[in-house]
Amino acid sequence: MNTIETVLITGASSGIGLELARQFAKHGHRLILTAPVKEELENIARDFSREYHVEVGIIPQDLTQPDAAENIFRNVQRDGAEIHILVNNAGFGQRGKFWEISLESDIAMIRVNIEATLRLTKLFLPEMLNRNAGRILNTASIAGFEPGPLLAVYHATKAFVLSLSESLATELEGTGITVTALCPGATDTDFFPKANMLESRAFQQNKVMAPQDVAALGYDALMRGDRVYVPGAMNKVLVSSRRVLTEHAQAKKNETFYKDVETTARKHHRGDYERKAFKRR
């Protein structure tokens, strides 16, 4: 690269976000990382600066707060940074019947998964348009392609992200700006314990990917300018199944995935796939 590009990544302290940050660092990008916990970001910034010799800035921010996106934007402006690549990665889910999950939890999910993505894109896109160059990576999910009983609001938020990404990609044709929706399936991250899903079929019996693999494939898709990228052969099969299954069949299939397996069938733990990927490095 002739110019060092700066990338802003949300949800950068763990999981896919952390591994996306690592991919960008490996390729020499300047990083601005945001996540709620300052100490975690400081440790990552120190490690990445030492290992990859790149500049790493941090913006501690809880995206459930209504003014979160504006705070991030003001911090970037104050430091005089130009964002060449925006990665809207932060997100979380919560398993349970719709009426059993609190409204506050659902609103927090909407703020992180939808509102932060919308606001940050609104704030940083004009600068990209002025430069006639830029890239946006939105972490959606294969959940965005179909309904998900027991994860109803999560699926709905990812459908929003996927639809917005595809629409923006078309609107921005000819501007020098690309938009990529990264749509992973089950991935060995903190999503599962936080969503109370470690015992679910989705984690115990599904083909679970390591976040390192998802991030490496996602980085390549972004740099190619892909509009939608689904990492993993099994995830591609799950997405393509919507062409032959009725909406009701899709919904029932996902409901089954999200139910717990019997205790004797629980063989996998959070971090198993992630550790295997580290050993391959």
CATH of the domain at 203: 3.40.50.720
pLDDT confidence of residue 276: 82
| Choice among 52, 154, 219, 229 that is catalytic | 154
Number of independent structural domains in the chain: 1
Is 163 within a domain?
Answer: yes
pLDDT confidence of residue 241: 85
**Nearest in space to 105 (alpha carbons), one of 68, 60, 149, 152:** 152
Is 1 within a domain?
Answer: no
Host domain of residue 181: 6-280
pLDDT confidence of residue 61: 98
Is the Cα dihedral 123, 172, 177, 85 positive or negative? Answer: positive
pLDDT confidence of residue 281: 63
pLDDT confidence of residue 52: 97
Is 198 within a domain?
Answer: yes
Q: What is the pTM of this model?
A: 0.95
Is 53 within a domain?
Answer: yes
Is 173 within a domain?
Answer: yes
pLDDT confidence of residue 1: 42
**Nearest in space to 94 (alpha carbons), one of 192, 214, 211, 201:** 192
Is 87 within a domain?
Answer: yes
Is 270 within a domain?
Answer: yes
User: In the annotation, is 219 catalytic?
Assistant: no
Per-residue pLDDT of the chain (281 residues; tens, 9 = 90+): 457 899 999 999 999 999 999 999 999 999 999 999 999 999 999 999 999 999 999 999 999 999 999 999 999 999 999 999 999 999 999 999 999 999 999 999 999 999 999 999 999 999 999 999 999 999 999 999 999 999 999 999 999 999 999 999 999 999 999 999 999 999 999 999 999 999 999 999 888 999 999 999 999 999 999 999 999 999 999 899 878 888 899 999 999 989 999 888 888 889 878 888 777 76
Is 241 within a domain?
Answer: yes
Q: Is 246 left (phi over 0), alpha (psi -120 to 50) or beta?
A: beta
Distance, CA of 34 to CA of 185 (rounded, Å): 23
Contact between 58 and 38 under an 8 Å Cβ cutoff? The reply is yes
Phi, psi values for residue 165, rounded to 5°: -65, -45
Distance, CA of 244 to CA of 224 (rounded, Å): 30
